[in-house]
Amino acid sequence: MEKAKISASQLFILMVLFELGSALLVPLAIDANQDAWLAILLGMVFSFVLLLVYHRLYLYYPDLLLTEYMQKILGKVMGTVLAFVYILYFMYDASRVLRDFGEMLLAFAYPDTPLFIANALLMLVIIYTIRKGIEVIARSGELLFIFMYVLAVAGFILIVSSGLIEIKNLQPILEEGLFPVLKVVFTQTLYFPFTEVIVFTMILPYLNNPKKAKVTMLCATGLSGINLIITMLINVCVLGVSLTARSQFPLLSTVQTIQVADFLERLDVFFMLALVISIFFKICLLFYVAVVGTANLFKVKSPSRLSYPLGLIILFLSITIASNVQEHIHEGLKVAMVALHIPLLVIIPPLLLLVAFFKNRKEQRE
Amino acid sequence: MKRKGAFLLLMMTMMFLLTSCWSKKELTDLAIVAAMGIDRTGDGRYHITLQIINPGNVAGGLQGGGGGTQSPPVTIYSASGDNLVEASRRASRSISRRLYYAHTNLVVVGEKLAREEGINTLMDAFDRDPEFRTTATMVIAKHSTAADLVKTLTPVDKIPANKVLKTLEFTQRKWGENVKTSLQEVMQSLESPGRGTVVSGFRLVGNPQQAQRLDNLQESAPEATIQASGIAVLKQGKLVDWLYGKPARGTVWLLDKIQGTDININWEGKKEVIAYQTVRQKTSVSAQVKNGQPHISVHARVEGDIAEMEVPVDITDPKVITKIEQSVRKEIKKELKASIERAQKNKTDILGFGEVVHRSRPNQFKKLKSEWNDVYFPKLNVDITVEAYVRRAGLRNKSFLSGIKEKQK
């Protein structure tokens, strides 16, 4: 752990950018058809429960990282192994997001460029940022957060003013009942993007005002949830369900349809800017957490030195995890959900909390 | 010092990376495709016709209008292939530049292709390609091949693709018998269950050979021109009928796409003597299902002005205005009814009534869905109510003719 402090508002901004990250890119929860927004909303609400679990763990060990208190809770051997698994998960997730980024650029704007080049260029910037530490990430977050929101608001106004919104595309609501929506919630939206914020259990110890942690976490998830809901609502309203479901990047297609006053059109580049910003922060945070986790686990004195080797691993992993886009998306939605998200985000943290609870009660009695 | 030197060297090498020249496309190496025509060849392959802009000939403002030795503003290339991508790539054999589709605003489909094979199979190429925009407009070439339509040179608007687009836009705003449909809208209605699709028609008037010659434009009334004509009715992607005149306008009206038109009414025995121009209109459709039988209500609301009166009418009397409003109402209702009946006769739900039922009664629509076009839609009960208001009457009140009439008394 480096000696650094971030404020509650910086944490808030980082969380929002993290959750928007690649979730803005994909047709989130589109398996629920026109009720995608409802699936996102419910996913957000249910994720609050897990968020409170993460926060409770933080309250027990306010100065320790997830990978550290794991060792206290479960003992040296078990804790170390599990901490290592979590670090691997963070790195895998970082490489997935990096791949998302590369695929977006290649599919849309750079068809002739190799994936490696696109990914490597972003990775270089990220490695540089990681070396500078969490405070720099947080400060650049503040700057770019404003820029992203200006883009988002401008885009929203343009879409509305070009008369593209067809509210009737959202009807009928709950055509097949609530069950399909709940299925999407528990297989997709609950984990991606909301409970991925388990990453922040590794960042919370840097918070200068621990009392604000809970409110900040809930508010940030709420805000990003609302943003994602609005995005999906607009996508479905503008494109209709079937086109949204067929799109690799529905928000891009939505932005492409903007035509205001015969000259405000082809604004795709603003979509790219917004996505590059949010993906940059998502990778940065996942990567940073992997770096501090590793440094802490293996007692490396200066964590920033780890950024080169780990960065290279993430870069190569992003190229090798899948041989094509479809495989990559399939892995993300089906394989990673069962193999990684459910055990690591939903099952283990509450178990940790349970053990921590009994352990602390015992200590208090003694 | 050494460190600084190494750093400087690194920065300088980075400079070469940062020029972003990986897959650069120079403007002078691009052939900007303004319009694309698609036909079917005899042996069942696609034949595409590309209208490519000649930048130099479009820009010259001073010598405009077609001087004697000038070359045309667009050049046509064509190629065939088993699918659109193949045809487009094969076209590169005859074009010295890279085909650039990002500014293609018009897709023309030949009538024969639309009628025999349908447009469903064409869509994926447009939808998938990152360069092509689905905001491009689609039209069907009536009574001709798409190639002939794309090859036609047009006066006033030098680029023929722009002429087509602007004509559609303005006629939709002023007359309302045509509707500008983007590829995306066409795709949405093709995908919707039990829904027919409308696409505007465009027609070449005159000799196709003459139409592509520059000297055609040197006349004040060019012999061969292109004009918007009719609405194509597509059932499952295949052309089944053309709508003209009142059924066409009624269809646009029912789709709530109408932006302005002119309605004539009869007055005291004289036919079509008062012209009423609409300013604001809104159509809403709602559905009920009773005993498994769907029922549709259409409500149209229109506000407008009196534009012309060829009979002596004194509209300073509010009662006269009310009477005019009633006649307008009747006229619009007739038109809407005619277009609904036409759609029912075609057994094609181009009006989106099925979607309305689906939205408001999703469970009942499940049973109707498979047979909607052929069984339920043709015998659908439709209630039409029209509200029409006269708001203004231009700069004068009484008709000019009523002035003459009074003087002669």
Looking at the structure, tell me whether residues B233 and B305 fall in a common domain. Answer: no
CB of B134 within 8 Å of any CB in chain A?
Answer: yes
Q: Does the distance separating the beta carbons of B184 and A243 come in below 8 Å?
A: yes
Write out pLDDT tens, residues B27-85. 888 899 999 999 998 888 999 999 999 887 776 554 444 444 567 888 999 999 999 99
CB of B191 within 8 Å of any CB in chain A?
Answer: yes
> What is the distance between the alpha carbons of residues B184 and B368, in angstroms, rounded to a whole number?
26
DSSP letters, A123-154, are: HHHHHHHHHH-HHHHHHHHHHHHHHHHHHHHH
Write out pLDDT tens, residues A180-200. 889 888 888 888 888 888 999
Is residue B203 within 8 A of residue B75, CB to CB? The reply is: no
Q: For position B372, what pLDDT does the model report?
A: 85
What does the pLDDT average to over B331-348? 90
Output the six-digit token pair for A216: 């900040």
Please name the member of A113, A171, A266 whose beta carbon is closest to the beta carbon of B22.
Answer: A113
Looking at the structure, tell me whether residues B189 and B258 fall in a common domain. Answer: no
What does the pLDDT average to over B100-117? 91
What rounded mean pLDDT belongs to chain B? 87
Q: For position B131, what pLDDT does the model report?
A: 86
Looking at the structure, tell me whether residues B207 and B283 fall in a common domain. Answer: no
Residue B252's identity, in one-letter code, is: V
Nearest to B279 by CA among B299, B302, B252: B302
**Residues of chain B neighbouring A168 (CB-CB closer than 8 A):** 355, 359
Looking at the structure, tell me whether residues B274 and B326 fall in a common domain. Answer: yes
Give kind and range of the element (H or E) at residue A48: helix A36-60
**How crowded is residue A124: how many other Cβ atoms within 10 Å of its Cβ?**
14
**Residues of chain B neighbouring A257 (CB-CB closer than 8 A):** 134-135, 184
Q: For position B404, what pLDDT does the model report?
A: 83
List the 341-360 stretch of B: residues with Cβ below 8 A of A: 355, 358-360
> What is the distance between the alpha carbons of residues A248 and B323, in angstroms, rounded to a whole number?
56
Looking at the structure, tell me whether residues B220 and B285 fall in a common domain. Answer: no
Output the six-digit token pair for B406: 């009074």
Residue B313 belongs to a domain: yes
Among A33, A115, A170, A243, the strongest candidate for a mutation testing the B interface, having the largest count of B CBs within 10 A, is A243
Residue B362 belongs to a domain: yes
Output the six-digit token pair for B160: 């023929």
Looking at the structure, tell me whether residues B239 and B249 fall in a common domain. Answer: no
Q: Which residue of chain B is at minimal alpha-carbon distance from A168?
A: B359
Last residue of a domain, one of B243, B274, B307: B243
Topology of domain A8-365, per CATH? Amino acid/polyamine transporter I (1.20.1740)
Q: Does the distance separating the beta carbons of A109 and B359 come in below 8 Å?
A: no
Output the six-digit token pair for A199: 């990453």
Domains in chain B: how many in total? Answer: 2
**Residues of chain B neighbouring A239 (CB-CB closer than 8 A):** 184, 188
Residue B19 belongs to a domain: no
Sequence ranges of the domains in chain A: 8-365
CB of B52 within 8 Å of any CB in chain A?
Answer: no
Looking at the structure, tell me whether residues B35 and B178 fall in a common domain. Answer: yes
Q: Does the distance separating the beta carbons of B359 and A257 come in below 8 Å?
A: no
- Kindly give the interhelix angle for A8-20 and A134-161, rounded to the nearest 10 degrees: 60
> What is the distance between the alpha carbons of residues A188 and A26, in angstroms, rounded to a whole number?
12
What does the pLDDT average to over B353-379? 85
Looking at the structure, tell me whether residues B209 and B261 fall in a common domain. Answer: no
Q: For position B59, what pLDDT does the model report?
A: 63
Please name the member of B17, B130, B362 whose beta carbon is closest to the beta carbon of A172.
Answer: B362
> Which residues have C-beta within 8 Å of that of residue B161, sequence separation ≥ 6?
B34, B35, B51, B105, B106
Q: For position B64, what pLDDT does the model report?
A: 47
Residue B322's identity, in one-letter code, is: T
Q: For position A119, what pLDDT does the model report?
A: 92
Looking at the structure, tell me whether residues B395 and B348 fall in a common domain. Answer: yes
- Mapped onto helix, strand or coil, the DSSP state of residue B20 is coil
Burial class (CB in 10 A: 0-12, 13-18, 19+), A262: exposed
Output the six-digit token pair for B10: 């690194």
**Residues of chain B neighbouring A175 (CB-CB closer than 8 A):** 362
What does the pLDDT average to over B261-281? 88
Q: For position B77, what pLDDT does the model report?
A: 92
Looking at the structure, tell me whether residues B363 and B301 fall in a common domain. Answer: yes
**Residues of chain B neighbouring A243 (CB-CB closer than 8 A):** 184, 187-188, 191
Residue B152 pLDDT greater than 60, yes or no: yes
DSSP letters, A87-135, are: HHHHHHHHHHHHHHHHHHHHHHT-TTS-HHHHHHHHHHHHHHHHHH-HH
Looking at the structure, tell me whether residues B137 and B276 fall in a common domain. Answer: no
Residue B18 belongs to a domain: no
Last residue of a domain, one of B194, B220, B243: B243
Looking at the structure, tell me whether residues B266 and B225 fall in a common domain. Answer: no
Q: Does the distance separating the beta carbons of A107 and B22 come in below 8 Å?
A: no
> What is the distance between the alpha carbons of residues A358 and A347, in angstroms, rounded to a whole number?
17
Residue A357 CA, distance from chain mean position: 28
| ipTM reported for the complex, 2 dp | 0.81
Could you tell me which residue, B400 or A96, shows the higher pLDDT?
A96
Is residue B246 within 8 A of residue B235, CB to CB? The reply is: no
Q: Which residue of chain B is at minimal alpha-carbon distance from A34?
A: B359
Q: For position A63, what pLDDT does the model report?
A: 87
Residue B17 belongs to a domain: no
Q: Which domain holds residue B226?
A: 26-243
Share of chain B above pLDDT 70, in %: 96
Q: For position A342, what pLDDT does the model report?
A: 87
Q: Which residue of chain A is at minimal alpha-carbon distance from B102?
A: A266
> What is the distance between the alpha carbons of residues A125 and A104, in angstroms, rounded to a whole number?
18
Residue B14 belongs to a domain: no
Residue B386 pLDDT greater than 90, yes or no: yes
Q: For position A1, what pLDDT does the model report?
A: 63
> Which residues have C-beta within 8 Å of that of residue B178, sequence separation ≥ 6?
B168, B171, B172, B200, B201, B228, B229, B230, B231, B248, B252
Write out pLDDT tens, residues A256-297. 888 887 777 778 888 888 899 999 999 999 999 999 999 989
Last residue of a domain, one of B174, B209, B243: B243
CB of B120 within 8 Å of any CB in chain A?
Answer: no
What CATH number is given to the structural domain containing B286?
3.30.300.210
> A63-72, A279-288, B12-21, B186-195: which has the minimum mean pLDDT?
B12-21
CA distance B67 to chain A (A): 30
Q: Does the distance separating the beta carbons of B188 and A240 come in below 8 Å?
A: yes
Chunked into runs of 10 residues, chain A (366 residues) has average pLDDT values of: 85 92 86 88 91 90 88 89 92 92 88 88 91 91 92 89 84 83 87 87 89 91 92 90 88 86 79 90 93 90 87 93 89 85 88 89 80
Write out pLDDT tens, residues B84-107. 999 999 998 988 888 999 889 999
Q: For position B358, what pLDDT does the model report?
A: 87
Q: Does the distance separating the beta carbons of A113 and B127 come in below 8 Å?
A: no
